[in-house]
Structure 1
Amino acid sequence: MKKTIELALPPEVAFNDQLFEQHLLQTLRLRPEDKPFIRKLKRSIDARGRQIKVNLAAEVYVGEPAPPLLAYRKDFPNVSKAPQAIVVGGGPAGMFAALRLIELGIKPLILERGKDVRSRRRDLAAITKHHTVNPESNYCFGEGGAGTYSDGKLYTRSKKRGDVRRILEILVAHGATEDILVDAHPHIGTNKLPLIVTAQRESILAAGGEFHFDTRVTDLYIKGNQLKGVYTQNGDLIEGIGVILATGHSARDIFELLYKRNVYIEAKPFAMGVRIEHPQPLIDSIQYHTANRSDYLPASSYALVAQVKHNGIEKGIFSFCMCPGGYIVPSATAPGEVVVNGMSPSRRDSKYANSGIVVAVDADDMLPYEKYGPLAGLQMQKELEQRACLIAGGTQTAPAQLLTDFIRNKVSRELLPTSYQPGLQSVQMSEVLPENISYRLKEGFKQFGQKMKGYLTDQAQIVGVESRTSSPVRIPRDKESLEHVQLKRLFPCGEGAGYAGGIVSAAMDGERCAEKLADMYNEKRIL
Structure 2
Amino acid sequence: MPRTVDVLLDPDAFADEARLRRAAARKAKLRERDVRHVVVRRRSVDARGGEVKIRAQVELWKREPPPSSRPKPWDLPTLRGEAPVVIIGAGPAGLFCALALTRAGVRSIIIERGQAVSQRRRDVADLSARGVLHPESNYCFGEGGAGTFSDGKLYTRAHKRGPVDEVLRVLVAHGAPLDLLVDARPHIGTNRLPGVVTSLREQLEHAGVQVRFGARATGLRTKDGVVTGVELDEGEHLDAAAVVIATGHSARDVVRFVRNAGAAVRFKPFALGVRVEHPQPLIDRVQYGGWAGHPVLGAASYRLVQRVGETSVFSFCMCPGGHIVPAATELDGQVVNGWSPSSRRGRFANSGFVAEIGAPQLRALGLDPNADPLAGIEFQRHYERAAFEAGGGAFVGPAQGLRDFVEGRHTNELPPCSYPRGVSSVRLDELLGPLASPIQAALGEVARSMPEFLGPEALAVGVESRTSAPYRIERDKDTLQSPSLARLYPCGEGAGFAGGIMSAALDGIRVAKAITARVRTSGAPRRASTHPDGLPAADSDAT
Name the TM-score, length of structure 2 as normaliser. 0.91
| Alignment partner, residue 185 of structure 1 | 185
1:26, distance to aligned residue in structure 2 (A): 8.1
Aligned mate of 1:512, from 493, 510, 513: 510
Partners of 1:13 and 1:196 lie apart in 2 by 33
Partners of 2:312 and 2:176 lie apart in 1 by 35
Kept in 2, the 8 Å contact 1:5–1:58? The answer is yes
Q: Which amino acid aligns with 1:202?
A: E
Map 1:44-443 → 2, pairs under 5 A: 44-64=44-64, 66=66, 69=69, 73-81=73-81, 83-160=83-160, 163-290=163-290, 292-309=292-309, 314-367=310-363, 368-370=366-368, 373-433=372-432, 435-443=433-441
Partners of 1:180 and 1:297 lie apart in 2 by 15
Kept in 2, the 8 Å contact 1:244–1:514? The answer is no
Kept in 2, the 8 Å contact 1:391–1:399? The answer is yes
Structure 1 pair 281–218 and aligned structure 2 pair: CA distance change class (3 A): same
Structure 1 pair 453–244 and aligned structure 2 pair: CA distance change class (3 A): same
Partners of 1:458 and 1:429 lie apart in 2 by 17
Alignment deviations for residues 72-120 of structure 1 (CA, whole Å, 9 cap, x no partner): 7521011123653111100000010010000110112110100001211
Q: Which amino acid aligns with 2:454?
A: L
SS in 2 for 1:164: helix
Q: Which amino acid aligns with 1:365?
A: Q
Please, which moves more after superposition, 235-244 or 366-375?
A: 366-375
SS in 2 for 1:374: coil
Map 1:33-44 → 2, pairs under 5 A: 36-44=36-44
Alignment deviations for residues 197-216 of structure 1 (CA, whole Å, 9 cap, x no partner): 01100110111111100001
Partners of 1:268 and 1:364 lie apart in 2 by 12
Partners of 1:74 and 1:424 lie apart in 2 by 45
SS in 2 for 1:208: coil
Alignment deviations for residues 453-507 of structure 1 (CA, whole Å, 9 cap, x no partner): 4212222010000000000111000000000111111100000000000111000
Partners of 2:386 and 2:291 lie apart in 1 by 40
Q: Which amino acid aligns with 1:273?
A: G
Please, which moves more after superposition, 237-246 or 152-161?
A: 152-161
Kept in 1, the 8 Å contact 2:320–2:349? The answer is yes
SS in 2 for 1:63: coil
Structure 1 pair 19–149 and aligned structure 2 pair: CA distance change class (3 A): farther
SS in 2 for 1:356: strand
Partners of 1:204 and 1:111 lie apart in 2 by 13
Kept in 2, the 8 Å contact 1:281–1:291? The answer is no
SS in 2 for 1:101: helix
Q: Which amino acid aligns with 1:319?
A: S
Partners of 1:161 and 1:337 lie apart in 2 by 39
Please, which moves more after superposition, 248-257 or 41-50?
A: 41-50
SS in 1 for 2:235: coil
Partners of 1:333 and 1:5 lie apart in 2 by 48
Structure 1 pair 202–19 and aligned structure 2 pair: CA distance change class (3 A): farther
Kept in 2, the 8 Å contact 1:80–1:209? The answer is no
| Alignment partner, residue 29 of structure 1 | 31
Kept in 2, the 8 Å contact 1:276–1:355? The answer is yes
SS in 2 for 1:222: strand
1:292, distance to aligned residue in structure 2 (A): 4.5
| Alignment partner, residue 464 of structure 2 | 466
Kept in 2, the 8 Å contact 1:162–1:509? The answer is no
1:370, distance to aligned residue in structure 2 (A): 1.6
Name the TM-score, length of structure 1 as normaliser. 0.94
Structure 1 pair 481–190 and aligned structure 2 pair: CA distance change class (3 A): same
1:271, distance to aligned residue in structure 2 (A): 0.4
SS in 1 for 2:342: coil
Aligned residues: 520
Alignment deviations for residues 134-167 of structure 1 (CA, whole Å, 9 cap, x no partner): 1100000000000110000111112359711111
SS in 1 for 2:172: helix
Kept in 2, the 8 Å contact 1:163–1:508? The answer is yes
Alignment deviations for residues 48-69 of structure 1 (CA, whole Å, 9 cap, x no partner): 2444221111112223465664
Kept in 1, the 8 Å contact 2:311–2:355? The answer is yes
2:445 paired with 1:447: yes
What is the RMSD computed on CA atoms of the aligned residues?
2.1
Structure 1 pair 284–240 and aligned structure 2 pair: CA distance change class (3 A): same
Partners of 1:504 and 1:171 lie apart in 2 by 11
Kept in 1, the 8 Å contact 2:24–2:58? The answer is no
Kept in 2, the 8 Å contact 1:7–1:57? The answer is yes
1:168, distance to aligned residue in structure 2 (A): 0.6
Kept in 2, the 8 Å contact 1:241–1:521? The answer is no
Alignment deviations for residues 371-402 of structure 1 (CA, whole Å, 9 cap, x no partner): 86011100000111001001110220010000
Q: Which amino acid aligns with 2:374?
A: L
